[in-house]
Every structure is written in C-alpha cells, then in structure tokens.
C-alpha cells in the first residue's frame, strides 16, 4: 500500500519550525541577527512538500531527486546552510549568484537577507527542479528570485557582476566564470574536495594573485555536474611527502600542497586563523 501522508497541521509546523530555529541558535549558528531572522520567517515545509514535518524541521539533509541510480539533488542540512550563509557575509542590497537551486529554500533565505534592494539569481542543471522551485518561492513570498535552467559552471554573465557567489554542490576547483563574475572584493563560498573523502566549505576572497579562504568547515554535498564536473579519472591515491621536523634546515611553515588539474591548493597550519589558498590557474 502506498504511503499516505498525514494532513498538514499548521500549528505543528509552526511549533517544529520554532524548535529548529531555537536549536540552531543554541548551537551558535545564528549569531547574525539578519541570518536568524531569515530562518525564522522562511518556512522550510513550503519547499519540501513530499516530506513529513518531523523530517523537514530536523537538522538533517533531505534527498530531493535521484537520477540514473544516484542522488543529484538534496535540501542541505539547515545547520550547514546557516554555516555557509554566515561564511557568505550577506548584506542588504547584495547581488548574489547561487549555483544549485534545488528546492529553492536556500535562495529564499538569501532573498530574505538581501531584501528588496538586492538581487538573487539561482541556476540549476535540472529543469524540473527549477520549475518546482518557482512554485515554492512564489508560495513563500519570494517571486523576485531569478531562477534559470542552466549549467552553473557558466554562472550568469548577463546578470554579473555579483557581490557574493554561493555554490551548493561539491566542486573540484574555483571555476573561472565564477571568479570573473565577482566584483573586486567579493566573496565566493564553495564546498571543495580537498582530498578524497574530505570536502570543506571555503569562503574565498582574492588577495593579489591568489584566492584565500577566510574560513573552512567540513561538509558533504552532491557533486557538481555539467561542464565543470569532477574529473572522471580515479583520484584516490594522492602523493604525500613528509619532511621530518628534525631534518629541517630552516624554519618553514607546516603546510600541504595539493596539485590539481587547474589550481594548486596550499593548506597552512602554522598560526591561528591561517588562510587556505588556491593559486590562480
């Protein structure tokens, strides 16, 4: 017998919504008042009509679309959304590009923060997700969000430049289009694969010829697809070189250098809050 979802209970939805926001606040993830307000006013259940309220208002990621035997879209864990939006450093009036629309929930949170003077453009590779997200955003009161069925690796050149770019799929590198469509001094937040099984949400700003990460948080995302998808080759055997402390001839910084097809990533541990850098390809 097919699953029959219980009738929608608006009072229960409000209660669970408030509990989730309280939990995120207790975890220290909503210290920014504008970010907290966005989570308070945007109801997640409008974006996930096929899930139960208990699932929707728990701090967990929820699968949205499966294709060719693999999940290609999910609604991210609310706690991770809060972390990435805090990394993004949104302000009213910002022009924002989102790569990976999904359900549209994250775009609604962004729109709630940037306000009427800002602009949100969100692109997704799946046409049916864009269509559904349009319905969700309209119902939630954010018809101004500009949704596009397109390859996110190309960005949205006709709407550029952007003050902020956020990627909600696991990337392999900083795609050139994202960098060129960002204003000077702008910021890109992207989940990036560093090593196999290690993905970090990185908030990049350009410093001279390199892009430095202001913060890094472990995360897990469905991988970016399209023209800049992860390489098809096997990438499971990185080569590591250890220079023992007692064999050093000079004082050098403790770091890891990861050579990729386009960029070089340098991870530094020598002092608190050291940035992670990736050189310009």
- Domain 10-228+238-279 bears CATH identifier 3.30.1280.10: no
pLDDT in tens, 131-148: 999 999 999 999 999 999
User: Using an 8 Å Cβ cutoff, are 39 and 21 in contact?
Assistant: yes
DSSP 272: T
User: What's the CA gap between 148 and 136, in Å, rounded?
Assistant: 15
Sign of CA dihedral 135, 139, 143, 147: negative
| 58 has pLDDT over 60 | yes
For 34, phi and psi rounded to 5 degrees?
-70, -35
In this prediction, residues 256-261 reach a mean pLDDT of 66
* Peptide linkage before 66 cis (omega within 30 of 0): no
Query: How high is the pLDDT of residue 241?
Result: 67
Q: CA–CA separation, 156 vs 261, rounded Å?
A: 24
Average pLDDT on 66-79 reads 77
Ranges of each domain in the chain: 10-228+238-279
- Contact (Cβ atoms closer than 8 angstroms) between residue 166 and residue 97: yes
Catalytic center residues: 73
Compute the average pLDDT of residues 147-162.
96
* Residue written as token pair 């340098």: 266
pLDDT at 180 over 70: yes
User: The pTM is what?
Assistant: 0.85
């Amino acid at each position: 017998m097919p699953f029959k979802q219980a009738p929608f209970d608006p009072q229960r939805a409000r209660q669970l919504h408030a509990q989730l926001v309280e939990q995120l606040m207790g975890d220290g993830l909503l210290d920014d008042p504008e970010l907290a307000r966005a989570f308070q006013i945007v109801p997640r259940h409008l974006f996930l009509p096929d899930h139960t309220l208990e699932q929707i208002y728990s701090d967990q990621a929820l699968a949205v679309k499966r294709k060719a035997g693999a999940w290609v879209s999910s609604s991210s864990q609310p706690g991770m959304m809060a972390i990435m939006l805090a990394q993004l450093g949104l302000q009213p009036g910002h022009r924002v590009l989102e790569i990976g629309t999904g359900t549209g929930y994250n775009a609604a949170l962004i729109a709630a923060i940037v306000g009427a003077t800002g602009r949100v453009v969100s692109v997704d590779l799946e046409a049916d997700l864009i269509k559904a997200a349009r319905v969700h955003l309209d119902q939630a009161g954010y018809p101004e969000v500009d949704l596009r069925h397109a390859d996110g690796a190309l960005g949205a050149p006709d709407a550029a430049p952007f003050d902020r770019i956020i990627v909600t799929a696991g990337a392999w590198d900083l795609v050139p289009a994202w960098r060129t469509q960002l204003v000077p001094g702008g910021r890109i937040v992207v989940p990036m694969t560093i090593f196999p099984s290690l993905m970090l949400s990185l908030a990049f700003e350009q410093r001279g010829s390199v892009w430095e990460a202001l913060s890094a948080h472990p995360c897990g995302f469905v991988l970016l697809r399209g023209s800049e998808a992860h390489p098809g080759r096997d990438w499971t055997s990185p080569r590591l070189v250890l220079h023992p402390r007692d064999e050093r001839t000079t004082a050098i910084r403790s770091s890891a250098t990861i050579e990729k097809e386009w960029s070089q990533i340098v991870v530094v541990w020598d002092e608190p809050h050291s940035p992670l850098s990736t050189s310009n390809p």
